[in-house]
Amino acid sequence: MKGCLHKNICCRNTIGSIGIVERTCVRFAPIVTLTLTLVHSLLCTNAWAVETDAFSRIIKPAFQKHCAKCHGAESEVEGDVNLLQLQSDNLNTNTELVRSLIDVLDLEEMPPEDEPQLQPQLRQQLVAELKAILHASVAKQKRFSHAPIRRMNRFQYNNAVIDLFDLKCIVFTLPERMMRDHRGYFKPETGKMADVVTVGSRPLGKSQMIESRLAGVAAFPQDLRAEHGFDNRGDHLSLSPLLMESFLKLGQSITQSPDFVPKKIGIWKEFFAPPAAGVDQSTELRTRLERFLTRAFRRPVKDDLLDRYVVFVSHQIDSGIEFSDAMKLVAAATISSPKFLYLYDKSSKSETAETIDDFELASRLSFFLWGSIPDLKLLELAAAGELKKPEILDTQIDRMLKDRKLKRFCDSFPAQWLQLERIISSVPNREKFPGFYFSKYRTSMHMMMEPLLLFETILIENQPITQLIDSDFTYRSNFLQNAYQDLRNDPKGQAKKSGGSVGVLSFYRVPVKDRRNGGVITNAAVMTMTSGPERTQPITRGAWIAGVIFNNPPKPPPADVPPLAEKVIEGEEHLTLRERLAVHRERSDCKGCHARIDPLGFALENYDPIGVWRTKYKNGREVDMSGILFRKHEFTDVVEFKDAILAEKDRFARGLAGHLLSYALARELGASDQVALDNIAAVAAADDYKIQTLIKQVILSEPFQSKTHPNANQSLR
């Protein structure tokens, strides 16, 4: 890029962060240079000697003084980690341990609250030295976690079949699509979200299932989500013999559907229609199948495989089957083939990470942003060996972010990231919260649209991701706007709420004047889905903040810890919820997690189980939501809590980058990915935390553009 300051940095080909900076313009230089200075010193000097000296001078003495009580005892050590047994050599090779140490020190989770604390300067020094060890170790080992072979989930399958045949309808209805675009409001090419949008909501049931789709085609079962993850993970997307048989039947039901006709199939003329008179059928057949299979299998088809498909169709035609019907048979076989169903990288025997080829890059791009197979443009660039060229790749990313197929990313990522499916099963006590219900429907079907529309707007308009924390605008239906007011002023729900439509819903862009309302954190949908039928659940809310916002989910609670009763038991009527939950912190194995998540959950305690603001409990006691974030940002109200999170917006940017990278690679992130996350967040921060910059840097990152043989990862654990 013309004018870039980092064109001639030495060893720029030794680590992916340099590749990022080469594509980064001058305005990013100040922040990124700090990262590069550290990496450069490790890679271009005697880094290992420096680390050994730092370990003996700084790290080991600190462990001995501050950590030995719990992690250095001669008998039992907590977490099976004995820090006093560590030496410089085994710390250099144990990247997962180094990552864990960085996390607990950087987030000030260790030492525990009731133990002597580290001085801020020493804590910063320890984090810096451990990061230096991690960066050097990753650069030396040059490996990433393996992206497992996996089949398409049903959302991706639906999209891929639509794109392959250029269908003018959907294949089957997907309940996991929580918000449906009516009247074409989603226009990313404009860079602007409409002030009025028309959407449908999944909980509306049958009215939202009425879509133009292929008759006689039934969806296979919905794919499960990984814990703290997404529904595209390899360990959840296996292919049993029974499911393989169902895919064979599914492929046949698609091409044999009465709706699988020329007016609904965009490629009918070029693929299914008989050749014109005088055209050599054998040559035409081979040409059509080569183009079709290349698109379906996402790379050029080999001659021997192509021959088998050609022979199959020719045999069908010779046996008297009409040309179009024979092509339907081969199309059904294609979309049932493992080469279509499975997502995987070409095998590699290298013990270090390798750069993926252009076709693999095309697939990663398309399944990340479009949830489907690459289009012809991506495949053409891949075939020419040009897709990986920085200027070409930048152009293609921009094109994809402006394509309307980006709606598929919005239909999948934000709802799963925010865990919004939980709102579907939220059923507040109807007697306590009658205002939540109208007719046989719930206000949740309007609530859930608000954070999804906020995310889409931030993405289309390329706004800073900080708007997700504290937005100055939102989208509300008339019903939702009235519901907010009615529930606040008339919590018993006696006031008549107008606009309670249960069909197509119109949402209006409105400014947020009260900071208690903006962003996803204090959204009524999130408040409702993290509560029980009777009361709020601060621990659930805190775990949601820790996992979703900071990408640092807590471990599951011990199996022998009973949950707090939903209803207040006799003798505790006078207590606040904070006082009732205090007993959970008395156990030593509970203290650590509660010290981390309780302040996050109680920060939202002014919102009742359906998101209505309150200052007192029903027993008259004042709601106390005060706390401290990361042991350094005190807050006394929810606005100060948002300010505390914004003071740590680099952590949020890094956490969101982690969610995006994990979603893009369909795998859990490991220690070796942390260097890339540092770089992604730094570049995004330098561009005012713009969301498209964050997404682009995920794509440009080394983990996204690399593959590692699974056996090569054994030493990473």
Report yes or no: 61 and 125 within 8 Å, Cβ to Cβ. no
| Cα→Cα distances 707→138, 196, 256, 350, 381, Å | 14, 43, 39, 10, 20
Partners of 477 in beta bridges? 507
Residue percentage of the chain with pLDDT more than 90: 54
DSSP state string for 335-358: TTSHHHHEE-PPP---SS-EE--H
pLDDT digits (tens, 9 = 90+) for 86-128: 776 667 777 788 888 888 888 777 777 767 778 888 888 888 8
Angle subtended by helix axes 303-318 and 281-297, to nearest 10: 130
Is 169 contained in some domain? yes
**Beta-strand runs (E) in 517-617:** none
Q: What is the mean pLDDT of the chain?
A: 83
pTM attached to this predicted model: 0.85
Q: Is residue 289 part of a domain?
A: yes
Q: Is residue 587 part of a domain?
A: no
Q: 198 phi and psi, to 5 degrees?
A: -120, 120
Q: Which residue has the higher pLDDT, 78 or 444?
A: 444
The pLDDT assigned to 598 comes to 86
Higher model confidence: residue 459 or residue 174? Answer: 459
Pairing mode, if any, of strands 342-343 and 196-201? unpaired
pLDDT at position 6 over 50: no
Q: Report, as an integer, the average pLDDT of 518-546.
A: 94
**How many structural domains are present in the chain?**
1
Q: What is the pLDDT of residues 219-235, one digit of tens each?
A: 888 888 887 789 998 77
Q: Are strands 441-442 and 179-182 parallel, antiparallel or unpaired?
A: unpaired
Q: Which structural domain range is residue 215 located in?
A: 150-173+211-343
**Band of the pLDDT at 327, cuts 50, 70, 90?**
very high
Average the pLDDT over 434-458 and give the result: 89
- The pLDDT of residue 523 is 93
